[in-house]
Homo-oligomer: A and B are copies of this chain.
Amino acid sequence: MRFFSDNAASVHPKVLEAIARVNQVDTAYDGDALSRSLDAAFSEMFECDVAALWVSTGTAANALALASLCPPHGSVICHAEAHIQIDECGAPEFYTHGAKLLLGQGEGAKLSPDSIRAIAGSIRKDVHQAQPHAVSITNATEYGLTYGAGDVSAIGALTKELGLRLHMDGARFANAVVSTGEAPADLTWRGGVDALSFGFVKNGGMSAEALIFFDPELAEATRYRRKRGGHLLSKGRYLAAQILAMLEDGLWLENARAANAGAATLGQAAGPRLVYPVEANEVFIRVKAEEAARLRAQGFDFYDWAPGEIRLVTSWDQPPHEVSALATAIAKL
């Protein structure tokens, strides 16, 4: 039973159907009708004019977003455990041509205005130091915490004060929206976010993420960078179709709701073992090595995260009986 990651989950049948349905010929790259409809679809969701570009991976979305917000000689403030720092093999450095990541602290990989201010304040205003140009936050974070609208706007107010741009890595944006119950607009541009990596692959998609620019002009250079990065697929309509299928009838929210619910169940079972509150679809719990072994012996697959700590991730397609079984097993430890 897979609890090691949502990134290996199955593709939602409606996404597969959408792919099969799209198989007429159309213009190549992103000139087709489906790709051209993305701006409107996301503008409606976000209640403002946005530019929306499909890409194949969250890493590409993040790296392209950062390249649009920070010059090669600048730096980006992010959490020391952010995905862009830890798990992208230097993609941000590659796409920004060598900008530095300045690493902040905070429980559960969550940055606070104070932690951002502390890092920004540590940089002298001279040419010997790579000046901060942007902040990147992950919502939900790599440890399953969420930034609510208040959190985002507090950070957004600070970035505005400091003259920085704001990026949100939303690989699990759907889980954050469902968890906070707040409007996508409130979690993003109304709070000051300039660019959002909007994840679908962990949430039932196959190979399409959306990169959303709340200032459409920011997207212009990114269209060239996307091509130059080898990310402009010639049959782009198949990516657009996946995203549109996820948006239709709120499938993205439905899937995230299912994943979050699974995590909530596990969280309740874990009780005092929880390392962080469960706010999305990730559950970190304290277990001894032999306890972890016992869970594995029952068929549960997951990552050891730190000594005495394991990570459990629930997915949109997690069978409820698997979740129940794991909850029971945890409770029995």
Q: A: which residues have CB within 8 A of B?
A: 2, 5, 7-11, 16, 19-20, 23-28, 55-61, 63-64, 71-75, 86-91, 93-101, 127-131, 201-202, 206-207, 221, 223-235, 238-239, 317
Contact = CB atoms under 8 A, between A and B. Distances in A.
Nearest to A8: B28
A228 B8 contact: no
Given A73-B228, A231-B57, A89 B7 contact: no
A28 B56 contact: no
Given A59-B232, A98-B98, A229-B230, 14 more contacts: A2-B25, A56-B207, A72-B94, A86-B128, A90-B99, A91-B228, A91-B229, A91-B230, A93-B100, A94-B228, A97-B97, A127-B227, A128-B227, A207-B238
A23 to B, nearest CB: 5
Q: How many copies does the complex hold?
A: 4
8 contacts: A8-B25, A11-B238, A56-B56, A72-B228, A73-B90, A74-B224, A93-B98, A97-B97
A171 to B, nearest CB: 10
Contacts of A64: 230
A28 B16 contact: no
Contacts of A11: 23, 235, 238
B128 A230 contact: no
B235 A94 contact: no
Residue from the set A56, A63, A73 with the largest chain B CB neighbour count within 10 Å: A73
Contacts of A90: 72-73, 75, 98-100, 130, 228
Contacts of A59: 227, 230, 232
A305 to B, nearest CB: 12
Nearest to A20: B16
Contacts of A223: 127
A144 to B, nearest CB: 18
Given A16-B19, A207-B238, A89 B231 contact: no
A90 B101 CA distance: 10
